[in-house]
Amino acid sequence: MIQGTTKLLGVIGHPVTHSLSPAMHNAAIAHLGVDFVYLPFPVKPEDLKAALAGFAAIDLRGFSITIPHKQAILPLLSSVSPIARAIGAVNTVYRTDKGWCGTNTDVEGFLAPLQTPATPPYQGGAKDVISPLERGNTAVESSPPPYQGGARGGSETGAVESSPPPYEGGARGGSDWSQKVAVILGNGGAARAVVAGCAQLGCAEIHVVGRSAQNLAEFQQSWVNSPMPVQNLQVHTWDNLSMLISQADLLVNTTPVGMHPHGEKSPVSAAALDRLAAGAIAYDLIYTPNPTQFLKDAQQRGALAIDGLEMLVQQGAAALKIWLDTESVPVDVMRQALRQHLGLD
């Protein structure tokens, strides 16, 4: 029950009514029994600075950020983590004695279903989610629960399908990514988090595919003098995609192609996807529809599929751990709340 002692968390955006964050965070808060509530706050771009002052005045403990504020908030914060500066965007803000501090948990969210689970299989919430990339450590240090999301390929109806067997994590052929090739579709903001994640994994090659040669060149250059330089990054225009797919151990869609209400579309043609090796990992950051056409097509060709819902859950779990100053949050509860909210169960 909300009362005078209840501490506030939230999400800001414009608009913000579409945000799924309140559903998963309030489910976790209820499960933990802590005196918090997570609320959506619509904030217009021109009101961002005033909103920060207002949040401080009412002792808001922290908040998530969605479009269009992820970049605009950077100069308004007292400190920004190296990972957020490298990506060029903040998605999580928390308050300290020095003021508002920003970080980005998208890398942790992206990595979670790719990391090898602990032995014996971890059954609880997420472990320590402070990114090893921020520590300057290239080793994967935390392990999520086995991946339960995704959907089987082969559906002709477009209906939500049952989950595949749990993906056990790690690269095709094992947990060593040092000989693996990542191919990333798109070169926007989401692609930056994926590049950082692939660098964290230690991928031998990271290839980014985009439409504009100029934008791709700028994207590549931005990592040269980054707080976290990525040396093994190559960029390509779309006409090289078929060749790249044949080399891919990890194929990631960061574009909006295939997102609801255009769920019948895929960023990759059937002919190009035929070149994807069986056992490769197809990862789509889109979570509606679930599964996307891209993932269904990839699974029909023997790929392992990961959908964007798991990344959404895991980046939220990382943020909640910061706000609550805890090392354990109920990731399974958050995942289930989102699946129910989206009508996937």
Q: Which residues are catalytic?
A: 70
Burial of residue 148, with CB atoms counted within 10 A of its CB: 0-12 exposed, 13-18 middle, 19 or more buried: middle
- The residues, any chain, with a CB within 8 Å of residue 85's CB and separated by 6 or more, are 74, 226, 227
3-state helix, strand, coil in the chain (%, to 5): 35, 20, 50
The answer to whether 144 touches 152, Cβ cutoff 8 Å, is no
Cα 91 to Cα 10: distance, rounded to the nearest angstrom? 12
* Sheet with strand 7-13: strands edge to edge: 36-42, 7-13, 62-65, 92-96, 99-103, 79-80
Q: Which residues contact 234 (CB under 8 A, 6 or more apart)?
A: 205, 206, 207, 208, 220
Q: How far apart are the first and last CA of the chain?
A: 27
Q: Say how far apart CA 318 and CA 99 lie, in whole Å.
A: 20
| Integer angstrom CA distances of residue 25 from 31, 314, 331 | 10, 11, 10
Instruction: Give how far the C-alpha of residue 147 lies from the chain's centroid of Cα atoms, to the nearest Å.
Output: 14
